[in-house]
Structure 1
Amino acid sequence: MEYYLAVDIGASSGRHILAHMEDGRIVLEEVYRFYNGMEDKDGHKIWNAEKLFDDILEGMKKCKEIGKIPVTMGIDTWGVDFCLLDKDDKRIGDLVAYRDDRTAGMDEEVYKIISEDELYERTGIQKAIFNTIYQLMALKTKEPEKLKEARTLLMVPDYFNFLLTGVRKQEYTNASTTQLLNAKTGEWDHELIKKLDFPDELFGELSMPGTVVGPLKREIAEKVGFDLKVVLPATHDTGSAVMSVPCTEENTLYISSGTWSLMGCELPKANCSKEAKNANFTNEGGYEKRYRFLKNIMGLWMIQSVKKEFEAGFDYPGKNKDDDYSFANLCDRAKEETIDSIVAANDGRFLNPDSMIREIQNACRECGMQVPVTPWEIARVIYRSLAKCYKETTEEIENITGKKFNSVNIVGGGSNAVYLNELTAAETGRSVNAGPGEATAIGNIGAQMLSNGVFSSLSEFRECVYQSFGVIKY
């Protein structure tokens, strides 16, 4: 039996998921899960790269322990973050996180060189202050010696692949989040890179999902107890998640629901129109160079942050020591509340506030709305606010693309939020199909299986996802 290993690392946790085919269906098995989160170091928010890589190896060792050795593995993570290597392939500095404030004001530095309109026309990528282009401008402006020392730029999953194999590859879907790819060609925009005075040698040949990176380095194979091939999935987690949307219709509206809610559709060509720019849509790279035309919505980051604060002891009226702050209970209890307040969920104020609870309360107070105080009231405000965003985004996508959608296909962890799914169906006026929660890992595995000839096409893989996991309709 052939096993495939997906290492899916999100902003709050990572997991190793094994898959194999059985009676024509994909069977999943989680073998290892680990914590991830930003840390504070030297005035910056960083990812602990060493710990993350140790966890990658630990999960691989678990495969050995249970006697299920994968033939290939693939790693996916979030986008935009990167590291630089010097001439000796040593990492330069820490792996700084996208929520770090080093990019404050860097948009204006970029727009001194190229206008915001022209930048969108060239790249098709929505403005987000944490995009790689602004992170690199921060380095150029504040720490130019690091850029001068650099010889290689690797996005986060590219870096872990390098540590595993010693091979440097830049994968297309994650590279598309840098805002440095040309939307028409799908390649690095070297003219733009030259204008910005970033070292051109950092941007080499792009590799597509399904590409074999190589075998494990000998010392890595010895550590984990076996060898395999490392294969590129769509290394941007949303790219992998969209691959596993269990729908083969040409016009498919999806939400990849996790820390972020990524809502959009697939297009054969990027849409870099003024209408798309004004609505803040992005054209990220997808499998087979499809374009993921989507909008970033704040997503479950809000409820994740609130959950942590209540678990840490945040006080509220009627608090009970036995109160359950699990996502499932927050969602169920929210449905029972009656508060009608909503907030602009995509407002930048919710990106990284000192207290998400206080920020939501302040936003309601400023708008003259009832202020939520209990966990269940706050959860209701969040879920209703997200559903309203989904409605507005659905209308924008239809207006900009001219497409019509009868349903919303939700995949990822948020597909398990029954109350949010019900709200989304009510707000959008469309049926909601809730697909697999482990969508990103499934898409990661799909790219590996396609590379290995298990499936002949993306459509065939998606049909198998539907047959294997089904959907829950709302």
Structure 2
Amino acid sequence: MEYYLAIDIGASSGRHILGSVDNGKLKLEEVYRFKNGIGKINDEYCWDIDQLFNNVKAGIKKCVELGKIPKSVGIDTWAVDFVLLDKNDDILGNAVSYRDNRTEGMMEEVFKIIPKDMMYLYTGVQFQRFNTIYQLLSIKKNKPGILEKAKTFLMIPDYLNFLLTGKKVNEYTNATTTQLVNSFDRTWDPKILDDLGIKKDIFQQIKLPKTNLGTMREELVKELGVDMEVILPATHDTGSAFISSVCNDSDSIYLSSGTWSLIGLENRFPLCVPQTMEYNFTNEGGIDYRFRFLKNIMGLWVIQEVSRNLENKYSFAELVDLARAKADFTSIVDVNDDRFLKPENMIDEIKNYCIETNQKVPEGVGEIAMCVYNSLAHCYKKAVSNIEEIFEKKFKRINIFGGGCQNNFLNELVANVTGKEVIAGPIEATAIGNIAAQLLSQNIFKDLGEARQAIKESFDIVTFKPDEA
């Protein structure tokens, strides 16, 4: 049996998942899990990048202990965050999180130099205050010495791959989230970098998913007791998740559901027109130079923060049950409002929003949870409406995949609020997509269509019909 290892690292946890192919079907086995999160260092919210890599190695060692040696490994993480390395390949400053407030006001500073409509025309990427471009401008304005010393720009998975292999590359799907890649040339945009005064030579060659980076560093082979090929998946976790869609047709909208919700579809070309800019849709890179035309929505982060505010007294399943018991509560919030990005207290923020918008204020855990789930469903509905207007067609169904697709109550709400059939699954979409890219690189699958058919036949898929259907 040949194994392929997906290291899938999210904002709150990471997992090592082994994949194999048996009689044409994909099999998964989680072998290692670890916690992740941001902490404050010198007034900045940062990732513990050293601990992340320690856990990358610990999970590989676990595979060795189990006697299940992967043929290859791929790493995916969240988007936009990065490290800068000096001439000795040491990290300059901190690995700062996109949830840090250092980017406040930076978007407006960029627009003084490059008009908003031109920025969108160049990159096709939606405007979010935490995009890499605004993080870099913040460093340039507030800590210019770091950029002056910088010799290398690597996004988080790029850096982890560098530690594994010694190779410095920027992977395409994650690079496109920086708002620094030209959507048509598919490479770093020299005009944007020149206009902002950011050195071009710190950026690496952009490589596509399925690229084989070769084997691991010799010292790691000795330390871990194993050697294997390091293959680029779509290193942006959403890029990997989109590979796993089981609705490989033109009548489906995709929704990757997790801490963030990414809703949209797959396109062969970028849409960088005033209408899509007005609705703040993005054109992020996908496998085989596809574009993920989608909208970023705050997602299950909101309920995760509610749970934290409640001192994790309730499981997420219990929160769902409490919400279902208050299904007649109708107040909704705009989950995409920046106030929900990292508030001091999510519950207070939800209540204040309802007060300010003259809606009934949620009282009790059930009403708060119902408000969150109902708000997500209505936010999805608005995005679907925008997509249908842009493409001048009605879509029949929404394929929800990722961890959030396990929430049957939310799936029911989405079906009823949007009036669309909801296809839920696969759950482990990101890890599956990561493994699929490795299998495509190894020619186990001949193309993406064959990979998606295998995924559809390998994992449980559940259908939800709207009530009126």
**Match for residue 345 of structure 1?**
335
* Match 1:424 to one of 388, 391, 414: 414
Please state how far the C-alpha of 1:470 moved relative to its aligned partner: 3.4
Partner letter of residue 430 of structure 2? T
Q: Deviations over 1:227-283 (max 9, x none)?
A: 101100000000000000112213431100000000000111100110000001000
- Report whether the alignment pairs 1:328 with 2:317: yes
What is the alpha-carbon distance in structure 2 between the residues aligned to residue 345 and residue 123 of structure 1? 25
Contact 1:80 1:174 in 2 (8 A): yes
Partner letter of residue 247 of structure 2? C
Please state how far the C-alpha of 1:37 moved relative to its aligned partner: 0.6
TM-score for the superposition, normalised by structure 2:
0.97
Equivalences for residues 106-125 of structure 1 within 5 A:
106-125=106-125
**Match for residue 289 of structure 2?**
289
What secondary structure sits across from 2:310 in the alignment? Answer: helix
What is the alpha-carbon distance in structure 1 between the residues aligned to residue 219 and residue 367 of structure 2? 52
Q: Deviations over 1:292-336 (max 9, x none)?
A: 000001100000111111126xxxxxxxxxxx6111121122111
Q: Deviations over 1:13-42 (max 9, x none)?
A: 111000101121000000011111110010
What is the alpha-carbon distance in structure 1 between the residues aligned to residue 199 and residue 172 of structure 2? 19
- Report whether the alignment pairs 1:237 with 2:237: yes
Equivalences for residues 296-375 of structure 1 within 5 A:
296-311=296-311, 325-337=314-326, 338-375=328-365
**Match for residue 181 of structure 2?**
181
What is the alpha-carbon distance in structure 2 between the residues aligned to residue 65 and residue 308 of structure 1? 35
Partner letter of residue 324 of structure 2? K
**Match for residue 148 of structure 1?**
148
Partner letter of residue 441 of structure 1? A
Q: Percent identity?
A: 51
Partner letter of residue 165 of structure 1? T
Equivalences for residues 196-211 of structure 1 within 5 A:
196-211=196-211
**Match for residue 315 of structure 1?**
none
What is the alpha-carbon distance in structure 1 between the residues aligned to residue 229 and residue 116 of structure 2? 41
What is the alpha-carbon distance in structure 2 between the residues aligned to residue 399 and residue 123 of structure 1? 22
Equivalences for residues 30-429 of structure 1 within 5 A:
30-311=30-311, 325-337=314-326, 338-429=328-419
* Match 1:440 to one of 430, 433, 453: 430
Contact 1:173 1:287 in 2 (8 A): yes
What is the alpha-carbon distance in structure 1 between the residues aligned to residue 18 and residue 139 of structure 2? 38
What is the alpha-carbon distance in structure 1 between the residues aligned to residue 321 and residue 220 of structure 2? 45
87-96 vs 135-144, which moves further: 87-96
Aligned-residue Cα RMSD (Å) equals: 1.0
Contact 1:8 1:440 in 2 (8 A): yes
Contact 2:251 2:396 in 1 (8 A): no
Partner letter of residue 26 of structure 2? I
Contact 1:252 1:266 in 2 (8 A): no
What is the alpha-carbon distance in structure 2 between the residues aligned to residue 336 and residue 195 of structure 1? 55
Contact 2:324 2:370 in 1 (8 A): yes
Contact 2:154 2:203 in 1 (8 A): no
What is the alpha-carbon distance in structure 2 between the residues aligned to residue 264 and residue 432 of structure 1? 14
Please state how far the C-alpha of 1:373 moved relative to its aligned partner: 2.6
Contact 1:407 1:433 in 2 (8 A): yes
Q: Deviations over 1:198-234 (max 9, x none)?
A: 0010123210000011211112122221010110000
What secondary structure sits across from 1:423 in the alignment? Answer: helix
**Match for residue 29 of structure 2?**
29
Partner letter of residue 419 of structure 1? F
Partner letter of residue 342 of structure 1? I
Kindly tell me the number of residue pairs found equivalent between the two proteins.
463
What is the alpha-carbon distance in structure 1 between the residues aligned to residue 225 and residue 365 of structure 2? 46
What secondary structure sits across from 2:113 in the alignment? Answer: coil
**Match for residue 467 of structure 2?**
none
Partner letter of residue 368 of structure 1? N
279-288 vs 363-372, which moves further: 363-372
Instruction: Flag structure 2 segments of 5+ consecutive residues without an equivalent.
Output: 465-469
